[in-house]
């Protein structure tokens, strides 16, 4: 990274995609968000892989160094994720030592094609090295990137109906008939059918046609795009055991991939009549919905393939290339309505006609509901690195949480369950999510170590678990320290840690527990109840 930094320093001046800031002690979060939006949008307009924001060096290239900590950096990342739309974040962050001082390099991704990145509702850009609003012309240039050309609708020159797989056309007819039972499809020849099903365009073969119905050897027509789904089986230690590639026609490949997945029966622990005896690990709808979404929303211009990783410990991971256009999964679930824009509208329309996907916005929500009804963890979406990664867990991970969902009489909404699922998984909550959960009394604790609140725990018979998470309070902790010193006269940090560590909240890390003990010792010192004696502590007042 030092060589790259030196190359950036050789730039005569700041540019639209390069910014230097002194930031010795820190940087204003709102200003950081504005620069993130501006640099991301400018990287898109310049067709660059990234932009750079450098902390610890001023615009004259003088090195000051920065004292920004990892903790502060994580706060910056959370702030960016919370307030950018579509949701974005740094590609990577790098610390480089220059002249004995630390320089922080923040790598910013370009805005997704067709989608300018805004910060708190405002799109920013650059006028040379100056921060400014993204002007209307630049905004439209970005927004028109995908509207001008739908990759999936492009006509494939020199391809004919002979390049399509007969069996795939036959299957497409069957599926189209299911969706349109009143049409006399059997009277149509193949060319008319493909036009009516909107798989071809005015009788011409499109990228969509090749993807869904092409012969395996026809994939070359859509290069550099790739029509490939790779299934990978991994063991519990994440070691690859088997794999297989599936190509054109994807209409048939979906069924072949589905057949590879070992959808075993999951047996619940005995809980009376609380849980069913057994269920499939993965609902067939979830597998097909996730896989077909990968096909429909893949950014084929990136040349990547679709991956499906099956783990023997009951987890499926679906990965496709391209940003998640809605920006946030929770928004999709809450809206329960069609998106206003699709990356591949022609392909999406064809897949709707064949019953592969729907466009009413209910597919993802149904996936969440099906997992909830089994008391399994909800689907997890990772939207980093310009790809969408969906993890489906086909088992109960936290029996207490599963019991909570099964017994709950609190009538939690799906949105609330999604957020409580994050709490159980230890996922960092956004500020708005914290505010909502706290406002409804659903969580307690200090950021980032939240736990389900006592009101919810009591209503579902989990009060002991709540007490375990909440742990002992400061007053009890200090009383224990005083009793120890009253009995033994002196004690060191190790004595107090041995006495108190296992009594502190489970949601705290070991270091956080030690910090809590240290803070209570300092509190007692300020109250003039105890005092240090070298590395030991003793009572400040004489014993009674």
Phi and psi at 352, nearest 5°, equal -65, -45
Q: What is the rounded average pLDDT of the residues 366-384?
A: 89
Q: What is the rounded average pLDDT of the residues 442-450?
A: 80
Which of 446 and 294 is assigned the larger pLDDT? 294
Q: Specify the pLDDT at position 359.
A: 60
Decide if pLDDT at 229 tops 60: yes
Which range of 166-170, 459-463, 464-468 scores highest in mean pLDDT? It is 166-170
- 206-210, 274-278, 530-534: lowest mean pLDDT where? 274-278
Decide if pLDDT at 396 tops 50: yes
Whether the full predicted model's pTM is greater than 0.75, yes or no, is no
Angle at the Cα of 438 from the Cα atoms of 432 and 442, rounded to 5 degrees: 120
Q: Specify the pLDDT at position 392.
A: 96
Q: Specify the pLDDT at position 464.
A: 47
Which of 246 and 541 is assigned the larger pLDDT? 246
pLDDT over 90, % of the chain:
56
In tens, the pLDDT along 71-111 reads 999 999 999 999 999 999 999 999 999 999 999 999 999 99
Q: Specify the pLDDT at position 383.
A: 85
Q: Supply the mean pLDDT for the chain.
A: 87
The end-to-end CA distance of the chain, in Å, is 64
In tens, the pLDDT along 304-336 reads 999 999 999 999 999 999 888 776 787 778 775
Cβ-contact 230, 307 below 8 angstroms: yes
d(CA 379, CA 365): 10
Q: Specify the pLDDT at position 487.
A: 83
Q: Specify the pLDDT at position 127.
A: 79
Q: Which neighbouring-strand residues pair with 244?
A: 231
Decide if pLDDT at 469 tops 60: no
Q: Specify the pLDDT at position 271.
A: 53
pLDDT over 70, % of the chain:
88
Decide if pLDDT at 232 tops 90: yes
For the chain, which domains are there? Answer: 2-147 (3.30.950.30), 150-396 (3.30.565.60), 399-470 (no CATH), 474-539 (1.10.10)
Q: Specify the pLDDT at position 410.
A: 53
Decide if pLDDT at 160 tops 90: yes
Strands 118-119 and 84-85: antiparallel
Q: What is the rounded average pLDDT of the residues 140-159?
A: 84
- 26-30, 101-105, 227-231, 383-387: lowest mean pLDDT where? 383-387
Decide if pLDDT at 409 tops 50: no
3-state secondary structure of 423: helix
Angle at the Cα of 512 from the Cα atoms of 383 and 72, rounded to 5 degrees: 45
Cβ-contact 251, 213 below 8 angstroms: yes
Q: What is the rounded average pLDDT of the residues 527-533?
A: 91
Q: Specify the pLDDT at position 420.
A: 82
């Amino acid at each position: 990274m030092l060589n790259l930094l030196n190359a950036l320093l050789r730039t005569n001046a700041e540019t639209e995609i390069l910014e230097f800031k002194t930031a010795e002690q820190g940087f204003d979060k709102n200003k950081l968000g504005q620069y993130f939006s501006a640099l991301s949008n400018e990287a898109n307009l310049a067709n660059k892989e990234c932009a750079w924001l450098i902390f610890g060096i001023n615009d004259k290239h003088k090195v000051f160094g920065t004292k920004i900590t990892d903790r502060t950096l994580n706060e910056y990342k959370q702030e960016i994720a919370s307030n950018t739309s579509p949701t974005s974040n740094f590609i990577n962050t790098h610390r480089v030592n220059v002249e004995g001082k630390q320089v922080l390099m923040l790598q910013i991704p370009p805005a997704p094609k067709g989608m300018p990145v805004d910060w708190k509702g405002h799109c920013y850009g650059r006028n040379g090295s100056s921060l400014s609003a993204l002007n209307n012309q630049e905004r439209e240039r970005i927004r028109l990137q995908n509207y001008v050309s739908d990759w999936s609708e492009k006509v494939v020159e020199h391809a004919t109906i002979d390049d399509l797989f007969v069996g795939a056309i036959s299957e497409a007819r069957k599926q189209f008939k299911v969706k349109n039972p009143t049409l006399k499809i059997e009277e149509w020849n193949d060319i008319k059918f493909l036009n009516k099903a909107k798989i071809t365009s005015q009788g011409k073969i499109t990228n969509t046609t090749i993807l869904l119905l092409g012969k395996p050897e026809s994939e070359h027509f859509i290069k550099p795009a790739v029509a490939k789904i790779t299934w990978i089986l991994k063991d519990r230690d994440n070691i690859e055991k088997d794999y297989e590639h599936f190509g054109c026609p994807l209409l048939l490949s979906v069924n072949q991939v589905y057949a590879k997945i070992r959808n075993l029966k999951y047996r619940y622990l005995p809980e009376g009549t609380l849980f069913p005896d057994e269920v499939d690990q993965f609902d067939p709808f979830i597998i097909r919905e996730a896989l077909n979404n990968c096909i429909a929303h893949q950014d084929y211009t990136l040349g990547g393939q679709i991956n499906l990783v099956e783990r023997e410990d009951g987890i499926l991971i679906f990965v496709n290339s391209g940003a998640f256009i809605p920006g946030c999964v929770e928004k999709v679930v809450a809206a329960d309505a069609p998106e206003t824009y699709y990356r591949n509208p022609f392909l999406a329309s064809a897949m709707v006609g064949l019953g592969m996907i729907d466009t009413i916005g209910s597919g993802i929500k149904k996936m969440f509901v099906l997992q909830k009804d089994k008391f399994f963890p909800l689907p997890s979406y990772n939207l980093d690195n310009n790809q969408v990664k969906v993890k489906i867990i086909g088992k109960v991970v936290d029996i207490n949480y599963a019991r909570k969902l099964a017994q709950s009489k609190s009538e939690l909404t799906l949105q609330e369950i999604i957020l409580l699922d994050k709490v159980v998984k230890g996922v960092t909550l956004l500020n708005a999510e914290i505010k909502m959960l706290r406002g409804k009394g659903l969580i307690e604790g200090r950021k980032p170590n939240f736990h389900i609140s006592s009101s919810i725990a009591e209503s579902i018979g989990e009060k002991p678990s709540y007490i375990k998470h909440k742990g002992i309070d400061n007053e009890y902790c200090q009383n224990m320290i005083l009793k120890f010193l009253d009995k033994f006269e002196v004690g060191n940090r190790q004595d107090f840690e041995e006495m108190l560590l296992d009594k502190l909240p489970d949601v705290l890390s070991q270091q956080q527990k030690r910090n809590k003990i240290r803070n209570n010792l300092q509190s007692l010192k300020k109250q003039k109840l105890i005092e240090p004696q070298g590395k030991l502590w003793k009572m400040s007042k004489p014993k009674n």
